Amino acid sequence: MIFISIVLEHIRKSFYHKTVLEDVSMEIKEGKITGILGDNGSGKTTLMKIICGLYSCDSGQIKNLIFKDKVLDIATSIEYAAFPLGMTVLQNFKYFLDLSIEKNADFQYYIKKFKIDFLDVKFGKLSAGMRQKVGMAYVFLKKSKILLLDEITNGLDEKFTQIFYKELKKYVKENHTYVLISSHKINEIQNICDEVYVLSHGRVERYLNLADERLKFPSKLFIFKNEIFAQRFMECFGINTQATIEGCEVTIPVQSEEDFSEIVVLASQYHLVNILNGDTILEQVYYGSERRKEYEKRDI
């Protein structure tokens, strides 16, 4: 079976002479959950609005978008779940999904799963968390091939966040959906996504394939007496392509206690001074040098 990616090529967008997106390229793969990680103002929401057609891009193109009956086959929850405030939750479902909702098995499943026991309440009367639950159910019930989910767990507690992500993984596996999800919560991106693009100042700063389990393990920061010993250790340890060196410090992802013990034995031969707790590779990329300043405060 051939899977075709939705491809974004060199997307640029400015508002009032301020550049929001600058040469953004990425792929959204069928049957995968692709994540965007970035600070507020990095361009995540703007990019999603371009994909679904709410904004046009100044330059660049999007290839292989999927249409159904000449309409983009997409379900979105961008910034927040938005439905007519004066209509009840049930009225919104009926209107936007255009089906006999009460007799629909999937409807009954998601209403129960997300505990939407406020169907007769007007949408405008709902709390932020309740609105997000409605948005969650909507993106599944719409049965679209493309899902764009922008900060969809905002306003939700950890319990419902985990319920949603479990359902999302199940849905994607069964329907071979294209999913692009953004979140400022790095642990969520790390746990739910197959791959992630780190967006910074309107540019893709880094791409990581999180299917590589090694990237999910926390690292250890090995501090040597000087740069010479750190370099010698790296030359000996060079078979691990995930190790990085900066001055007298070497950062290594550690996959297990056994792995850690072996590395310590080797590092001890090169005037090892200290070992500090580090981050996962994704955290290192996202936080950069700022996080390094916190290492000295951590316990071994």
When pLDDT is averaged across residues 120-140 and rounded to a whole number, the result is 93
Identify whether residues 278 and 163 lie together within a single domain: no
Q: What is the pLDDT of residues 278-300, one digit of tens each?
A: 777 777 777 764 554 454 454 44
- pLDDT tens column, 71-87: 899 999 887 778 999 99
Q: How far apart are CA 289 and CA 81, in angstroms?
A: 35
Report residue 156's pLDDT band, with 50, 70 and 90 as the boundaries: confident
> Are 40 and 148 members of one domain?
yes
pLDDT of residue 216: 64
Share of the chain above pLDDT 90, in %: 52
Select from 191, 210, 229 the last residue of a domain.
210
Specify whether 176 is located in the same domain as 274.
Answer: no
Question: Which parts of the chain fold into alpha helices (H)?
Answer: 44-51, 89-97, 105-113, 128-141, 158-175, 186-192, 227-237, 257-267, 281-287, 289-295
Residue 264 CB burial class (10 angstroms; 0-12, 13-18, ≥19)? middle
Domain finish residue from 181, 210, 239: 210
Residue 118 CA to residue 77 CA, distance in Å, equals 20
Question: 83-109 pLDDT, tens per residue?
Answer: 999 999 999 998 888 766 767 889 999
In terms of pLDDT, which residue wins out, 262 or 224?
224
Report the CATH number at residue 138.
3.40.50.300
Based on the domain organization, do 181 and 237 belong to the same domain?
A: no
As a whole number, the mean pLDDT across the chain is 86
Residue 6 pLDDT grade (very low, low, confident, very high; cuts 50, 70, 90): very high
CATH value at residue 276: 3.30.70
3-state secondary structure of 210: coil
Strand partners, 147: 75, 179
Q: Report whether pLDDT(1) > 60.
A: no
Give pLDDT, residue 277.
Answer: 75
pLDDT over 60 (residue 54): yes
In a domain, residue 145? The reply is yes
**What confidence score (pLDDT) does residue 189 get?**
86
Indicate whether 121 belongs to any domain.
yes
β-strand partners of 221: 251, 276
CA distance linking residue 292 with residue 141, whole number of Å: 44
65's CB contacts (< 8 A; 6+ apart) are 6, 51, 72, 146
Residue ending a domain, among 210, 242, 262, is 210
Q: pTM score, two decimals?
A: 0.77
Count of domains for the chain: 2
Instruction: Name the residue range of residue 185's domain.
Output: 6-210
